[in-house]
Amino acid sequence: MQTWLSTALTNLETCKRGFIDFEVTDYVMPLMSNNVTKLISNTLYLNKGSYGEPSHREGFPTWVSPGDRKLLQTRSPRANIVVAQDGSGNYKTVNEAISAAGKRSGSGRYVIYVKQGTYKENVDIGTSLKNIMLMGDGIGRTIITGSKSVGGGTTTFKSATVAVVGDGFVARDITFRNTAGPENHQAVALRSGSDLSVFYRCSFEGYQDTLYVHSERQFYRECDIYGTVDFIFGNAAVVLQNCNIYARKPPNKTNTLTAQGRTDPNQNTGISIQNCRVTAASDLKPVQSSVRTYLGRPWQKYSRTVFMKTSLDSLIDPAGWMPWSGNFALDTLYYGEYMNTGPGSSTSRRVNWKGYRVITSASEASRFTPGNFIAANSWLPGTNVPFTSGL
């Protein structure tokens, strides 16, 4: 329930951001003062005290059928449909396969195998398309690419090369790319608002706003994420584990890895980065000393992000974190670092904001592990994606 309420509030905020992207601000203030926002916020507060700790059941969500459980446990799931540009599959485009998935009977796991190739298309997997799995031939081999951007006339939300909302989405061994370039500002490679969505051995490539972890509960494992400004952003409850985060050469000499968007202190959302590696991409390395790279900045008032047991290379600025605008959110945010390593991990010169803390307690850090933050033990085992439940 807390996830649904958090998402409802996020959806209203996304609507407001769309007006701002188009510089149509006359509509924003009525939305901000709207009674629905207040009602959801009040319900979040009331509901927070009524639920217990997340379930730690092993196995599958109730909506996964016994047949699908067996399918998901295989290393290479049998494909329902094959996409191949050379005509050797059922369809030549990903969108044709998604359309076919929408006509299937039932809502069981539906596996779409996308063979090696570069697919230039924008893909939208809607709310009704549950339990879709996209399986490719590997990072850099199966590539879905687009170039929509705010600079090109769309909103951040609509710029996504691949957007997925249907619950239970799984992607593995695929590159998601947006080629709009740094000069076109916000340009999303992938946007997920899919509850219990999983991304395994995938790559997300762009510049500003590459990976939009929009809402719901999400898990990323052994993925590569490339970008410049706010390139992991949104308001999901999300854990990135054993991933590589690559900062690229920015147009304005400043990189920010994250911009988390929690607008209410009772939303169960945040970005947790665990056992990952943060370093410079090949284009940044030659000019790394002239660029300031930060772990994140507070997009919204209650922004929440933690880096835990992550290797931080020397590109990270000693201050660690960057303000959004003046003193905005510096007292209300939650930014934490726990047992990070590497030349950029020293906290001796970090910001002294009220909302920033060096986490020294294992029990506090464990709140942001998959087992606690996204109740992973009750659903991740069924996806056959490896994960560490705790610290």
Q: Give residue 104's region: left, alpha or beta (phi > 0; psi -120 to 50).
A: beta
Question: Dihedral through CA 174, CA 180, CA 186, CA 192, nearest 10?
Answer: -20
Q: How far apart are CA 98 and CA 128, in angstroms?
A: 11
CA 243 to chain centre: 12
Q: How far apart are the first and last CA of the chain?
A: 26
Strand partners, 358: 337
- To the nearest 10°, report the CA torsion of 320, 217, 77, 85: -70
**Is residue 101 classed as helix, strand or coil in its secondary structure?**
helix
Burial classification of residue 146, based on how many CB atoms lie within 10 Å of its CB (0-12 exposed, 13-18 middle, 19 or more buried): buried
CA 269 to CA 374: how far, in whole Å?
Answer: 9
Q: How far is CA 308 from CA 57, 96, 124, 241, 326, in A?
A: 25, 41, 33, 10, 27
* Beta-ladder partners of 279: 246
- The question of whether 68 is a catalytic residue gets the answer no
Please state, in angstroms and rounded to a whole number, the distance separating the CA atoms of residues 85 and 88.
Answer: 8
Q: Look at residue 96 and give its three-state secondary structure.
A: helix
Of 167, 209, 230, 317, the active-site residue reads: 230
Which residues are identified as catalytic? Answer: 230
